[in-house]
Amino acid sequence: MRTSDRNFPFLNQAIRILKNHNSRNNTAINKQSRQYLLTSIAGLALFLGGCSLPNNPFQNRQSPTLPQPAIDAPPQSERASISAVPTDPNFVVAAVQKVGPAVVRINAARTVSAQAPDEFDDPVMRRFFGSAPPARRVERGTGSGFIINANGQILTNSHVVNGADTVSVTLKDGRTFRGEVVGEDPVTDVAVVKIAANELPVVPIGNSNVLQPGEWVIAIGNPLGLDNTVTAGIISATDRSSSDIGVADKRVGFIQTDTAINPGNSGGPLLNARGEVIGMNTAIISGAQGLGFAIPINTVQGISQQLITTGEVQHPYLGVQMVTLTPEVKEQLEIESRGRIRVAAEQGILLVRIVPNSPADDAGLQAGDVIQSINNSPVTKTEQVQQLVERSTVGSQLQLTIQRGQKPTQVAVTLESLPVQQGDR
């Protein structure tokens, strides 16, 4: 609809006030005129809030007086923690000042043996020079971490301290301490380091379960040796599977962000706009730009508490290699088997290998079986199976409905602890 001066007498008065103001050679508007002007403009804004103006692509065309569709909102306790659009233009500064003192640099050194050149295995060479001693060299790496306890407990990535002979932790104030690795979990890439210090600054912890794509996030770390570097961006996606980003041996639903993350950022915090830690920066995709990944802080907390309490983490273990069943997978399977293997099911999880002596093997599962549901919950993607297994406990039992040939079958599998260095689910 078009607006006219006839419909808005208060607008005419506001315009006259502006004209009078201009004609007075920029003299101050008197107090009564200024108040009338503000009231008139506010009234116009409220009125236009329910109108649809032509050629305005940003106008909400739905009248606020109409009933709105129901939205599945999070509980009130979680709703308050969802990041809103920051109103403070310096919200990044505020977040960094709040958290920065609790972000640390972690230096790790490990001694590795290098394979001697093949020439030294030649009998003639050994005759004259003897056996070559094993070559040794020291590998050094730098990562980041953040303090979660005033008595010196620090979280970082497992790959930052894995196999390290020595670990040192440098605080933002310049103090350096020898670090002790309390425990690490390569499956989720989480580690806990302890230093002998008291009254340290700590980070505030947020809730990664309520994150949404588009929220502002901030990363603090030591990329490429540049200490206390701050970058900012948004959450690009949540719950990215490990297979999506090329680290299939991890059991994490990653946060994807376009915040700049580089080597050295590993183990550092990812913050929301309020300066709360909602993730641990951990991975990048080689050659990609604007693609960084973080472990959700809720996952980090669960793993770290087990490491602090027992020094290790038990992950439930099924013992299968699997693939999401699609028409393309079915066709490829028939081609590669030259028609000897045909899968009747149209969807589900195709088991391509059963690990010997695993819980799946003990339960009688076979390659070629198709999982249709677990504990009466339908599954159509491998990520669903991974999540259901990971959320279970060692020793618990899963009820699987599988299709073997044309026949549905019920199979009960008792989960065991994931063997060390075993990447199968």
Q: What is the pLDDT of residues 5-38, one digit of tens each?
A: 444 444 455 445 444 544 444 444 454 444 544 4
**Per-residue pLDDT at 272:** 97
**Per-residue pLDDT at 130:** 60
Which comes out higher in pLDDT, residue 332 or 183?
183
Which comes out higher in pLDDT, residue 106 or 83?
106
Please check whether the two domains, 102-194 and 208-296, share a CATH topology. Answer: yes
* Residues in contact with 295: Cβ distance below 8 Å, sequence separation at least 6, in sequence order: 188, 189, 190, 252, 254, 255, 279, 280, 282
Give the lowest-confidence range in 161-165, 270-274, 420-424. Answer: 420-424
Average pLDDT for the chain: 80
Reported confidence tier of residue 345, pLDDT bands at 50, 70, 90: confident
What is the rounded distance in angstroms from the CA atom of residue 332 to the CA atom of residue 323? 12
Q: What does the DSSP assignment read for 298-328?
A: HHHHHHHHHHHHHSS---EE--EEEEE--HH
Reported confidence tier of residue 128, pLDDT bands at 50, 70, 90: low
Reported confidence tier of residue 293, pLDDT bands at 50, 70, 90: very high
**Per-residue pLDDT at 334:** 81
**Per-residue pLDDT at 120:** 55
**Per-residue pLDDT at 341:** 74
Both structure tokens of 73: 């909102």
Give the lowest-confidence range in 44-58, 66-80, 117-131, 142-156. Answer: 44-58
217: amino acid identity, one letter: V
**Per-residue pLDDT at 10:** 43
Which comes out higher in pLDDT, residue 117 or 371?
371
Tell which CATH architecture fits domain 316-417: Roll (2.30)
Which comes out higher in pLDDT, residue 334 or 37?
334
24: amino acid identity, one letter: R
pLDDT mean over 194-213: 96
Q: What is the pLDDT of residues 178-193, one digit of tens each?
A: 999 999 999 999 999 9
What is the rounded distance in angstroms from the CA atom of residue 366 to the CA atom of residue 355? 10
pLDDT mean over 167-174: 96
For residue 288, is pLDDT > 70?
Answer: yes
pLDDT mean over 184-211: 96
What is the rounded distance in angstroms from the CA atom of residue 10 to the CA atom of residue 290? 50
Q: Indicate whether this model's pTM tops 0.75.
A: no
**Per-residue pLDDT at 202:** 97
Q: Which residues are catalytically annotated?
A: 159, 189, 266
**Per-residue pLDDT at 16:** 54
pLDDT mean over 63-82: 43
Domain ranges of the chain: 5-48, 102-194, 208-296, 316-417
CATH 3.40.980.10 describes domain 208-296:
no
Domain 102-194: homologous superfamily in CATH: Trypsin-like serine proteases (2.40.10.10)
For residue 213, is pLDDT > 50?
Answer: yes
**Per-residue pLDDT at 411:** 95
Reported confidence tier of residue 303, pLDDT bands at 50, 70, 90: very high
What is the rounded distance in angstroms from the CA atom of residue 331 to the CA atom of residue 414? 33
